[in-house]
Structure formats: structure tokens, C-alpha cells
Amino acid sequence: VIDVRRHNANFCEEHFLRLCRDQVERAIKQHRMLSSGDRILVAVSGGKDSLAVWDILLELGYQVDGLYLGLGIDGYSGRSEAYARAFAKDRDLSLEVVDLPADYGYDIPNGARAARRVPCSACGLSKRHLFDEAARRGNYDALVTGHNLDDEAAVLLGNVLRWQGEYLGRQQPVLPAGEGFPRKVKPLVRLGERETAAYCVLRGIDYVVEECPMAEGNRHLGYKEALNAIEERSPGTKHDFYFGFLDRAADRFVPVVAEERGAVGSCVRCGAPANGEICAFCRLVERAGGRVPEVGTEVPLLLGRPPAGGVL
């Protein structure tokens, strides 16, 4: 029996798995995330959330490939990659692996120090750029991430505490495609961390359990702890906080994001969308002493489909 307090209900294994699939399907339909014919790329980390969302989307009949990004974090990246590879191999799925040290000549710990960024900032920048690039070059219809309800509520709390309007405008579970960026969707927004973990256990999905060691001190972990304490006293708080924002306030911040994007050009080095001459990713790689990518010399990508009349 699995107790889901915010639903005020207990579930057996069969009905809990059905609940998880139903909640993902409801999020997809409610927010118009995906269509039945879409080709989807999942950002895979080897953790419970990305593997759970990959599994659920397959169960719902979607065409889904995975992309794993090796960050070069000693004692962690190798294990997380092994779980991602094992999941794909056991199910005969397509998984592409891009490794920062091997393919770009830098890793997150050294890159963050060289660029004078906190590790999570350097990691987030690298992931956004490379996942966007893979979705664009592979001609995918949507890029899926494993952000769950706990993640979104914690980020929302941090943004509200600082009234960061430009970030509040990005809290929608769907960011539409545009200006060279793929559509980004978060199908797990109706499931919490405890539910995705239970889903993986019941489905026999092995995943890396420990948190990334570079995340120590990340303020969002503190926001999660604060929300967990409130949730313990008042089940449903995270859901009401996040979905109340979506229902009552999110639309007010969308124009801030649209204005912020403005006219987007192309990076003169890698060709990715950029507001300046050189994109933030290429600047990070250069400062970290890595190999700055150039147009036409990208890391080979075996996933995806070619654009009409073109080659991959």
C-alpha cells in the first residue's frame, strides 16, 4: 500500500502505477504538451525522474529517444551514465551520450572555477545548450525534462521570494518553440519526488540515488526542505502553491519573457541562437580551456531525423 497524502488516499501497486500514468497524461492534455505523432527527446540524467518520465511516455505510446550528458564529476557521472545506459539497453531504446571532457575538453568542476560560476550555474548552462542543440539538430518536436512538482514548487518559491519576473514567466510547464529553441515540456509536474521514486521501485527501474555532490549548498535544496516541512503539516501545499500560480498569476509574467528574448541572432562560433556575437556556452567553454565548437564541427548526433530534404 502506498499512501499519497495530498490525495488523501492509499493505493495498491496496480492503481498507483495507473495514478502516475494518469497524472502525466492529464498534464500533457491540460497543457497541450505533446501530440500523438510527436518525436520526443528526453534529457536523461540516470536519476529517478528522467527515467520515470521516459518509461511513462513509452507506456503512453509516444516515440521517445534519450540523451545523456556526461558532466565529468568524479565518482558520480560514471554511475549515473551506467544507470541511463542500462535502462536503455534493457528496453532496446535509443540513447545518445555526449561527454563534456571527451567531446568538449572540460568538465563541470573545473569549468565552473575557470568561468567563476557556481557549479549548478555552469551545469545548467551546459545542459540547456547541448540539449537544445540536440533537439534542434535531430529535428525533434519536443524536449522533455524530468522536473517534478517538488522541483517546480521550490523554484517558484525562490523566484517569488526575489520577485524575479523574467524567471516567473518561465515557470509554465510548457515553453513553446521559437527563435531556434525547441518546445520544452515537463510532464511530471503533477507528481512529486516520492511518487516518482515509488514508481521506479515498482517498475523495477534502477537509478542513481545520491544527489549530485556539486549541488551541496544549492539554495533550491533549502527551498525544498522548507516546503517539505510545510507539506508535512498541510498535505497538498506544494500542489496548491504551484498550480495556484499557474491558474492565477503565471500569464502576467509571460510578456516579460517575450520582451526579454527580443531579436535573437546566431553565435558566430557554433551557430546556436544567441543575443550577442558569441553565445554563453561558447564563452564558458573558452574560459574553461575546452574546445570551442564551430559550425560544421559539432559532436556527431546519431539520434533524430533529418529535416525535409536534408541530412542529419
Per-residue pLDDT of 244-269, as tens digits, reads 999 999 988 875 444 445 557 889 98
Q: Which residue has the higher pLDDT, 47 or 306?
A: 47
Residue 24 grid cell? 502525466
| pLDDT at residue number 308 | 46
With a cut of 50, say whether residue 311 has pLDDT above it: no
The Cα–Cα gap between 206 and 83 comes to 7
Q: Taking 80 as the threshold, does the pLDDT of residue 176 lie above it?
A: yes
Helix (H, G, I), strand (E, B) or coil at 188: coil
Which residue's entry shows cell 540536440? 134
**In degrees to the nearest 10, what's the CA dihedral of 119, 77, 220, 121?**
30
Pick 91 or 305 by higher pLDDT: 91
What tens digit of pLDDT does each residue of 263-305 get?
578 899 888 888 889 999 999 999 999 987 776 656 656 665 4
- For the chain, where are the E strands, in sequence order? 2-4, 9-11, 39-44, 63-70, 95-99, 142-144, 174-175, 183-185, 265-266, 273-274
pLDDT at 253: 85
CATH (one of 2.60.40.10, 3.40.800.10, 3.40.50.620, 3.30.70.940) for 2-209+219-264:
3.40.50.620
Query: Residue 255 and residue 169: Cα distance in Å, rounded?
Result: 8
pLDDT for position 297: 58
Quick one: pLDDT at residue 118?
Answer: 87
**300-303 LR contacts (CB < 8 Å, sep 24+):** 301/96, 301/134, 301/137, 301/138, 302/94, 302/96, 303/41, 303/65, 303/67, 303/94, 303/96, 303/134, 303/138
> CA quadruple 99, 224, 31, 187: dihedral positive or negative?
positive
The whole-angstrom distance between residue 49's C-alpha and the CA centroid of its chain comes to: 9
pLDDT of residue 102: 94
The model's pLDDT over 15-64, given as tens digits with 9 standing for 90+, comes to: 999 999 999 999 999 999 999 999 999 999 999 999 999 999 999 999 99
Tell me, what's the pLDDT at 61?
Answer: 97
Read off the pLDDT of each residue in 166-188 and give the average, rounded to a whole number.
90
Question: What average pLDDT does the chain have?
Answer: 90
Dig out the grid coordinates for 183 from the structure: 518546445
Lowest mean pLDDT among 28-42, 195-209, 221-235, 260-274: 260-274
Helix axis angle, 237-248 relative to 219-233, nearest 10°? 110
Q: Where in 18-100 does DSSP place strands (E)?
A: 39-44, 63-70, 95-99
- Helix, strand, coil percent values for the chain (each to nearest 5): 50, 10, 35
Q: How confident is the model at residue 218 (pLDDT cuts 50, 70, 90)?
A: confident
Q: Is the pLDDT of residue 309 over 60?
A: no
Alpha-carbon distance of 305 to 269, in angstroms, equals: 24
What whole-number percentage of the chain has pLDDT above 90? 71
